[in-house]
Amino acid sequence: MDALAVLISGGLDSAILLGDALRRLSVVHPVYIRCGLCWESTELVYLGRYLRALRCSALQPLTILDQPVQDLYGSHWSITGKDVPGTNSPDEAVFLPGRNMLLLAKSLLWCHLHEAPNLALGSLGTNPFPDASTTFFQGMENLANQSVHGSVRICLPFAGMEKSAVMHLGKGLPLQYSFSCIKPNQERHCGQCNKCAERRHAFATAGMTDPTDYVSF
């Protein structure tokens, strides 16, 4: 594979995707889309730590692209930080409308303009949301390429994998610097939100020690 761009948020899946790519490839571009969500300032702190821990010749400087959504989402919990879905909330509670469409539109164009032929996402096959289907990703790839006569390819290395298998790929990576919380408290995982619960479950199911510093359980 040629140079790979990795759409990274700092969460477990994308962090593992980036780390695994660095084991195999000579040029890897981490790309972060900043949307103005309430957890992003803390997420970027952790992402900076993660990238420093992975520093090597293959790892290119972090690219941050701005795609603000406050004018779309208004008073949504992801903007305000109020009434954030808790530990026992269903997956549907954390669905962000158009999330992958917004992330991909800008990152695919960045890849085209910077001659990065492949863009990888850490999306799992078990993701239940409509913007995580194979049909959706293929459609976005086609549309973006059609708009610029491009040929960037979306890669989904984890599409056929269970979460526990992905977690095992992360063994040996500095996952203590990954970040999954949607209501951070003083730059720590709150321990009370939907994503913190998902994070704890991921480590437990994989039989791995959870290195996360949670405020509470």
User: Residue 56 falls within a domain, yes or no?
Assistant: yes
| 56-62 own/partner pairs: CB under 8 Å, 24+ apart | 56/22, 57/26, 58/22, 58/25, 58/26, 58/27, 58/28, 59/22, 59/28, 59/30, 60/27, 60/28, 60/29, 60/30, 62/30, 62/31, 62/32
Q: pLDDT tens for residues 95-109?
A: 999 999 999 999 999
User: Residue 166 falls within a domain, yes or no?
Assistant: yes
User: Residue 115 falls within a domain, yes or no?
Assistant: yes
3-state SS, one letter per residue, for 157-211: CCCCCCHHHHHHHCCCCCHHHCCCCCCCECCEECCCEHHHHHHHHHHHHCCCCCC
User: Residue 154 falls within a domain, yes or no?
Assistant: yes
CATH code of the domain in which 75 resides = 3.40.50.620
pLDDT of residue 67: 96
pTM as predicted: 0.95
User: Residue 217 falls within a domain, yes or no?
Assistant: no
Burial state string for 176-197 with b = 16 or more CB within 10 A and e = fewer than 16: ebbbbbbbbeeeebbbbbbbbb
User: Residue 99 falls within a domain, yes or no?
Assistant: yes
Residues of the chain with pLDDT below 70 are: 1
CA distance 18 to 31: 10
pLDDT of residue 15: 98
Phi, psi of 34 (to 5 degrees): -95, 115
pLDDT of residue 10: 87
User: Residue 144 falls within a domain, yes or no?
Assistant: yes
Task: Name the residue range of residue 158's domain.
Answer: 4-205
- Number of domains present in the structure of the chain: 1
Both tokens of 81, joined, read 């930080």
Place of tokens 């790929």: 169
User: Residue 148 falls within a domain, yes or no?
Assistant: yes
Secondary structure element (H or E) that encloses residue 134, with its range: helix 134-148
pLDDT of residue 158: 94
